[in-house]
Amino acid sequence: MSAHGSAAEGRITVRDIRQRKGGAPLVCLTAYTAPMAELLDPFCDILLVGDSVGMVVHGLPSTVGVTLDMMILHGRAVMRGSRRAMVVVDLPFGSCEGAPEAAFANAVRVLQETGAHAVKIECAPAVLGNVRYLVERGVPVMGHVGLRPQAVLAEGGFRARGREAEERLQVLSEMRGAIEAGVFALVVEGVAEALASEITTQCPVPTIGIGASAACDGQILVTEDMLGLFERSPRFVRRYGDLRGLVSSAVERYAADVAARRFPGSGETYFSARRKLGVPPVDIPAG
């Protein structure tokens, strides 16, 4: 067992992911907490500690406000809750756009302090040199092209990419740059279906689609979207549950029981349980 509570030999590795190109589709979901990671782990090849945590857990309007400390905190939690899946942690906005040495230091800190297996970087042209710098120094990097959430301020919102010829060429250029920089897999987000298929055909490493195409080598969704935690979700999300309804119903019933003094019951208090067992109450000395 490692310090992070997992047997290294039992984990899915970068090599395993690379070998899935064109094979059985990769199953990927986001995770931000230990309990959720434990539930997802048996079914997933990759658990992504996405900077979407800023919006999903912390209520931020975008991922721009997410910090390195936040990513490390949640990365540690996911590592503690998982045993089998590869854990990848997003490098948040501002952590890899500066000098290559600074980007490397941030990536190393994430890997060392969480025990995670790789980082994910949104592959804007300006950071591709840093991606190469990290990969050459032993940091496994998953790339991300298409709709890049960290560029939401510059792009003017969350908008699908690749409908126009110029955008298509730009996304393809990002893909080629990411491959040349050495990424081991590539998230393709929010692009036209034909473009996602084209990227997957040209890309020598596995592509992981989100709002892209079933032709990708794998798929990822934000888990809370997929489970129906939020009232609204992106068009590309298929809801596999109604977590929002389940939580609301459970809390409503709890509130009703508290208001009617039905909770706690006699079997849900410590001294009642002791009496049922024939154990006399414990006298606690005053002072």
Two tokens, residue 18: 């690379």
Q: Which residues are registered as beta bridge partners of 209?
A: 188, 219
Q: Is 22 exposed, middle or buried (0-12, 13-18, 19+ CB in 10 A)?
A: exposed
Q: Is 268 annotated as a binding residue?
A: no
Beta strands in 68-206 (DSSP E): 86-90, 118-122, 141-146, 185-189
51 assigned ligand-binding residue: yes
For the chain, what are the domain ranges? 8-241, 246-276
**Cα three-residue angle 136-221-215, rounded to 5 degrees:** 75
Q: At what angle do helices 128-136 and 100-114 cross, to 10 degrees?
A: 50
Hey, which CATH number is domain 8-241, 1.10.10.10, 3.40.50.300, 3.20.20.60, 3.30.70.260? 3.20.20.60
**Any binding-site annotation on 249?**
no
- What pLDDT does residue 165 have? 80
Active site residue 189: yes
90 is in an annotated binding site: yes
What pLDDT, on the 0 to 100 scale, is given for residue 287? 54
The pLDDT of residue 158:
52
Coil vs helix vs strand at 46: strand
Question: How confident is the model at residue 157, as a pLDDT?
Answer: 52
User: Around 131, how many Cα atoms within 13 Å sit in the side-chain half-sphere?
Assistant: 29
The series of mean pLDDT values per 10 residues for the chain, 287 residues long, is: 45 97 98 98 98 96 94 98 98 96 98 98 95 98 88 55 79 96 97 93 97 95 96 88 97 98 92 56 56
pTM, entire model: 0.88
Catalytic residue among 174, 189, 198, 224: 189
- pLDDT in the model for residue 52: 95
